[in-house]
A = this chain, B = another copy of it.
Amino acid sequence: MRHSYRCPLRWSDMDAFGHVNNAVYLRYLEEARIDFLAGVARRAAPEAFTGGTVVARHEIDYLRPLVHQPDPVVVELWVTKLSAASVTFAYEVKDTEGAAGPYVRASTVVVPYDFDEQYPRRLTAAERSFLEGYFDDSQHG
A47 contacts chain B at the CB level, 8 A cutoff: no
Instruction: Tell me if B55 and A22 are in contact (CB < 8 A).
Output: yes
Contacts A54-B62, A62-B54, A62-B55 given: A30-B12 contact, CB under 8 Å? Answer: yes
Counting every copy of the chain, the complex holds 4
A27 contacts chain B at the CB level, 8 A cutoff: yes
* Minimal beta-carbon separation of A36 from chain B (angstroms): 12
Bound Cα distance A126, B60 (Å):
29
Instruction: Tell me if B15 and A12 are in contact (CB < 8 A).
Output: yes
Residue of B at shortest CB range from A29?
B23
Residues of B within 8 A of A27 (CB): 10, 12, 23
* Interface hits, A9-29 → B, CB 8 Å: 10-12, 14-18, 21-24, 26-27
Residue of B at shortest CB range from A56?
B62
